[in-house]
């Protein structure tokens, strides 16, 4: 922190992070940084550890080695004097409040109305009054274009609408960092656009830090400040979207992009 | 004479008609024992289910052991324990309460499994979403998981309600005057067992059919509020 040569201020930093599922190494001493306000898209073949990065940040997956920092604080550890110890639930709750996540399967609460989905956590966790939470919920619904759906149940909505509610629900907790885990992968093709538009608006109008895992390359190119190509649990190549999409250096990146961009070749 | 009601042994019909109100006295006790036992099973089962899914195995394992023990020992033994052994330690409960408690404890082992299966059927993504939103684990359980699990759980619980009702006659051995016990006493005093016992069987049949219809009604009319159960 007092390193004079280090003038960056990464809001997310993975320091040699290892994640294993059994014998399978998902993240192999991953070093990875995201700057405050930066929009970063992670691309790569399935099984390359893309989603795992987000799930570790949301504290849905524990790490097996290394340290993850969020806002300069270790996420999975607590400082104890000089050393780091595994974090307790109290610390995790505190850290989690900086992050919001949008899931591939939406994971809306099916037994609650759309509005209740947006107010439940603010009221219970942030201690916001019900009236205030509702007002804020309606504002968020307006942002995602769903004010007329407030009293419906999730199953009455299309997939695209559900995912927009998912985005609004995460935003209701006022996170500094938004994680999007393949937000359009479960959607019918004609519903993808409406969700991407909402994410695009967020990226353009807010100083949120955004970390996105997606297969929508065209979209990634438009909204991202940086593209990270993951392969075998490491960042194989990263750079500005134009560099990665027009002039990738690594053979592996070229092969992947060729496969996803011209699947008919 | 029983419960202040005389029986009429002039004909079999007259006998049957005259003991009917007596049996109804027993039937009321049967239903009371069913309801109280079921209520205990519902609450205790929920506690066991929660303990069995506790984060630490030092809670999980004892809870599983208790469940297994309850399930693998006969109801009658548990009943005798509560009725004859507890008083040796200075705890004497009325016969009815002892019986209902035994039923409740026995069936809590089953209801806890029903709860557990119902809880596990709630998608993993629901817990993850609740965690991502920082909801406390107690709140997640009561307001996210439970409401989604209950519509799956109710039909299975209903079946156990019927089972409990059919187990109530066991309580007659500890002097609870439920329907079968009453019928037996009538038989003892009049020498005619066929009619009272047949009537108990018939009344049971009627009760189980009604209960089964009730469970089915509940299952189809339960407010599922946005839940699709497949």
Asked if the structure places residue B139 within a domain, the reply is yes
Half-sphere exposure (CA, 13 Å, Cβ side) for B190?
25
Asked if the structure places residue B193 within a domain, the reply is yes
What pLDDT does residue B195 have? 94
B197 is in which domain, residue-wise?
A: 9-221
ipTM attached to this prediction = 0.91
Asked if the structure places residue B227 within a domain, the reply is no
Mean pLDDT of A27-53: 93
Strand-pairing partners, residue A70, are: A12, A73
- Note the pLDDT tens digit of each residue in B123-156: 899 999 999 999 999 999 899 998 898 888 888 8
Residue of B nearest to A122 (CA): B133
In this structure, what CATH number is given to the domain that contains residue B22? 1.10.3720.10
State the nearest Cα–Cα gap between A204 and chain B, in angstroms. Answer: 24
Asked if the structure places residue B68 within a domain, the reply is yes
Asked if the structure places residue B85 within a domain, the reply is yes
Asked if the structure places residue B3 within a domain, the reply is no
- Note the pLDDT tens digit of each residue in A109-153: 999 999 999 999 999 999 999 999 999 999 999 999 999 999 999
pTM attached to this predicted model:
0.79
Axis crossing angle, helix B146-167 with helix B194-221, rounded to the nearest 10? 170
Cβ separation of A101 and B143 shorter than 8 Å?
no
Identify the band that residue B224 occupies on the pLDDT scale cut at 50, 70 and 90.
low
Axis crossing angle, helix A159-171 with helix A114-121, rounded to the nearest 10? 20
Query: Among B122, B129, B138, which would you mutate to test the A interface (most chain A Cβ atoms within 10 Å of its Cβ)?
Result: B129
Residue of A nearest to B124 (CA): A107
Query: Among A108, A110, A114, which would you mutate to test the B interface (most chain B Cβ atoms within 10 Å of its Cβ)?
Result: A110
For residue A1, is pLDDT > 90?
A: no
For residue A2, is pLDDT > 70?
A: no
Mean pLDDT of A11-32: 94
Percentages helix, strand, coil for chain A (3-state, rounded to 5) are 40, 25, 35
Domains held by chain B: number = 1
Asked if the structure places residue B1 within a domain, the reply is no
Asked if the structure places residue B155 within a domain, the reply is yes
């Amino acid at each position: 922190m007092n390193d004079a040569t280090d003038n960056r201020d990464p809001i997310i930093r993975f320091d040699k992070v290892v994640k294993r599922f059994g014998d399978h190494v998902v993240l192999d001493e991953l070093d990875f940084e995201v700057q405050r306000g930066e929009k970063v898209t992670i691309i790569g073949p399935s099984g390359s550890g893309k989603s795992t990065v987000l799930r570790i940040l949301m504290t849905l997956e524990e790490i097996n080695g290394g340290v993850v920092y969020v806002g300069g604080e270790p996420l999975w550890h607590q400082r104890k004097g000089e050393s780091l110890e595994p974090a307790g639930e109290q610390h995790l709750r505190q850290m989690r409040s900086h992050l919001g996540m949008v899931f591939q399967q939406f994971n809306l609460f099916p037994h609650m109305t759309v509005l209740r989905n947006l107010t439940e956590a603010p009221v219970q966790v942030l201690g916001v009054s019900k009236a205030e939470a509702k007002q804020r919920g309606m504002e968020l619904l307006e942002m995602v274009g769903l004010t007329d759906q407030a009293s419906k149940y999730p199953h009455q909505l299309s997939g695209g609408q559900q995912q927009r509610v998912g985005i609004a629900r995460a935003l209701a907790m006022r996170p500094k960092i938004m994680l999007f885990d393949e937000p359009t992968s479960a959607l019918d093709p004609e519903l993808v656009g409406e969700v991407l538009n909402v994410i695009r608006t967020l990226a353009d109008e807010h100083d949120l830090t955004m970390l996105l895992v997606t297969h929508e390359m065209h979209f990634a190119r438009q909204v991202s400040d940086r593209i990270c190509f993951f392969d075998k649990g490491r960042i194989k190549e990263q750079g500005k979207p134009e560099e990665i999409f027009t002039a990738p250096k690594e053979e592996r990146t070229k092969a992947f992009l060729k496969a996803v961009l011209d699947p008919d070749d | 004479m029983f419960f202040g009601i005389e029986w009429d042994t002039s004909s079999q019909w007259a006998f049957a008609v005259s003991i009917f109100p007596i049996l109804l006295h027993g039937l009321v006790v049967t239903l009371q024992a069913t309801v109280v036992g079921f209520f205990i099973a519902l609450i205790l089962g929920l506690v066991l289910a929660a303990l069995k899914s506790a984060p630490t195995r030092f809670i999980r394992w004892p809870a599983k052991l208790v469940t297994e023990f309850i399930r693998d020992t006969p109801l009658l033994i548990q009943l005798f324990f509560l009725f004859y052994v507890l008083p040796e330690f200075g705890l004497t409960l009325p016969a009815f309460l002892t019986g209902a408690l035994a039923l409740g404890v026995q069936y809590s082992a089953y209801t806890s499994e029903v709860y557990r299966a119902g809880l596990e059927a709630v998608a993993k993504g629901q817990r993850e979403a609740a965690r991502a939103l920082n909801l406390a684990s107690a709140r997640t359980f009561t307001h996210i998981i439970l409401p989604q699990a209950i519509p799956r759980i109710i039909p299975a619980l209903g079946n156990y309600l019927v089972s409990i009702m059919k187990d109530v006659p066991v309580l007659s051995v500890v002097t609870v005057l439920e329907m079968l016990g009453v019928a037996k006493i009538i038989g003892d005093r009049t020498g005619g067992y066929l009619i009272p016992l047949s009537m108990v069987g018939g009344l049971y049949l009627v009760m189980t059919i009604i209960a089964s219809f009730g469970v089915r009604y509940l299952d189809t009319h339960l407010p599922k509020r946005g839940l699709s159960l497949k």
